[in-house]
Amino acid sequence: MALAPDSEVAEFLAGHPEWDRAGEAITRTYEFDDFNEAIGFVTRVGLLAEKADHHPDIDIRWNKVKLAIFTHSEGGLTRRDLNFAAATDTYARPSPAGDGEESG
C-alpha cells in the first residue's frame, strides 16, 4: 500500500479540523462526559479496528481518548488511515449538552 500524497493528507486535515498531523501519524483527542462514555467509544473503535484489521494507537485518560493513526508497515499515512480516521468520528457521540466531543 502506498503512502498518501501530502496534498491528500492536507485535504483530509482541512476537512477534518479536529485531526492534527503529528510526524508520521494523524491524531485526535476526543473528550467525553465521563469514563464510561470514553470506554464505550474505545469499544466501538476497537470493533471497527478488528473488522478493518487496522489498529490505531489508543491512549485513555479518564474522559479523554487520543487516537494516533498511521500504517506501521508503510512508515506513514495511507488512504486507509484517512478513511479509518473519518470512520472513527462517526463513533463519537456528543453529550446532550453538545460538548462531549472536543479536540485537544
Spell out the domains of the chain, with CATH numbers in brackets.
Answer: 6-89 (3.30.1360.20)
Question: Do 24 and 97 contact (CB within 8 A), yes or no?
Answer: no
Distance CA 42, CA 62 (A): 12
Residue-wise pLDDT for 30-44, tens only, equals 999 999 999 999 999
Q: Which are the contacts of 88, defined by CB distance < 8 A and separation ≥ 6? A: 28, 45, 48, 56, 67, 69
pLDDT one-digit tens code per residue, 52-61: 999 999 999 9
How large is the average pLDDT for residues 20-30?
Answer: 96
**pTM for the full model?**
0.85
Average pLDDT over residues 67-83: 95
